[in-house]
Structures are given as C-alpha cells and as structure tokens.
Amino acid sequence: MDSPPTILYKYVTIEDAKKILQNNTFRATPPNELNDPFELLPGSFSGCSREDIRKEIMQQPDVFFDMAKDLLLFKDIDDFIEKINKNEVFMNNVVSVFYDSDFLMNQLIDSVKEFSRNIGLICFSKNKSNILMWSHYANNHTGLIIGVESILFSKLWIKVDYQPKRFEIPVSIVERKKNPFAVLGRKLVDWQYEEEYRTVTNLSDCKYTLDSSKKSGKIYLYPFDKEAIKEVVFGINTPDNEKQILINELKSNYSSSVVIKKAELHKTEYKLIL
C-alpha cells in the first residue's frame, strides 16, 4: 500500500461536519455508491490465452466450477474436477467458455463486485487549497476541511492512480490476490485535481443508519480516533454562527492542539490563503 502524507484533508459541508464531529464518525461509502460510475469497472484483462485459462482452471477448480455450473453439464464439484482432469473434450469446452471475452469480462467484473461488497471507502485529498474542491465538496466555500493525521486515522491507504485508460485486470486469481485493492485505486485523468487518497474500511466495523435512497439501503459510519483530527479550515463563505458552533464542538470534545483557521482570498492571484 502507499504511504500517505502526514495530514490528509476531507472537504465537507457544514451539515456533514456537524455529524462528523458530534458523532465521532466519518461516512464510509461502498464503491458502487461513489460519484464516479466507472468505479471498479476494468477495461480489459491480461493473461487470457487458452493456455493461461487452462492453467487457472487446474489451479482454482472450485472458482471456475461456480462460474461454469449453469453453462456446462456436470453433477457437482467432484464431477467437475474429475472431468477436467480426465476428459480432454470437456476441458476444452470449459476453456472455450472462459475464452469468450464478453463472458470472461462479466465474470471478472462480478468477482470484483463480490470482493468489494463488504468494504467502504473514505476519501481524502492531500491538497487543502484546491478551489474546485472547495466549490464542489464544501458547498461553494461555505463548508470547511478537516485535516486528519493519516497514521492515526487508518493503517491502510490507497493512492489513486489517474490514467487515460481503465485498469487491466489479471485473469489469474493468484495475480489478483497479490494486490487485491488495485481495482479501487484507478480513476480517469479528469479527476486528478482531487489528488485523492482512500482508506478502506470493513463495513462490519461501521455503525449505520437506514436510508432507502442508497443502493445498500444504509449509510455506514466509521468511528475514528479523536486524536487523528489535527486541523480545521473554514471556507471564505462559512457563516460565523455555524463556525462558532463547530469551534465549540472542537473545544469541548477534541484536543486543544487542533489548529483552527479560516481561508482567505489572495489579493492578486487565483489562490486561497490558508
């Protein structure tokens, strides 16, 4: 995994900041509920010659049994294993099924989705002065950013890799297991202004509230170490009364060492002074 910067920043609205600080939780979002519809969608696969596929079938017969059980005739897993070892015609048929690019891609996508079913992502940026992010995620500069010490917040971080092409997923299960989180860290270059780092959480470790508008039917809330919060910067348009409510919350329930600032516009450049 990637070593993140010491401090990472979460751009939030006033309402979200109140929930974070009052409940001591950050929202953890399942990958299929993020704002990029291409999350977890590979564009191609590698290691897909007939011989590669044959080798994978022999190494992981139980996995291929699950994927092929509705397409080929066999009684059960034992029957499947016996046939791929003793019946060359049957083995060739199995290989042919998985050599079909559309079928194989659909199976690989399903395996990625299954892997991600029980995880949530919390997304941060290494940049606290991005004007676009202040506009998009902090409600036109009326919100704020919360800076956390990365090592205190999580031990598992993914640095997002921005590329013009979608990721290539290995057919090999062994290769996929070498870097199981690689699929969670690829985004189109258009998103690179976010300079994103993501932490992965297990949804079973989260609290949740019910929300029928979400695909999962829930909003997951990840409890964090209060000592992780090191900095809060209010936007140039944060209302004074809302700012004071949050400052009071910080002073009452968080470390006195939390640095509190307010952003200002640079006098001559397209820049924020923080």
The beta strand positions in 207-271, using DSSP E, are 207-210, 218-223, 229-234, 259-262, 264-265
Distance between CA atoms of residues 225 and 8, nearest Å: 15
138-168 residue pLDDT tens:
999 999 999 999 999 999 999 999 999 888 8
The secondary structure element, H or E, covering residue 11 is: strand 7-12
Distance between CA atoms of residues 70 and 50, nearest Å: 21
pLDDT averages per 10-residue partition of the chain, 274 residues: 89 97 94 86 72 80 74 77 84 77 71 78 96 96 98 94 86 68 87 96 90 85 96 97 96 94 96 94
Task: Supply the pLDDT for residue 70.
Answer: 67
DSSP 63-109: HHHHHHTTTS--SSHHHHHHHHHH-HHHHHHHHHHHHSHHHHHHHHH
Domains in the chain: boundaries: 7-37+119-273, 44-115
Task: Supply the pLDDT for residue 251.
Answer: 94
173-216 residue pLDDT tens:
666 666 767 778 899 999 999 999 999 999 999 988 888 888 78
Distance between CA atoms of residues 151 and 148, nearest Å: 9
Q: How far is CA 108 from the centre of its chain?
A: 18
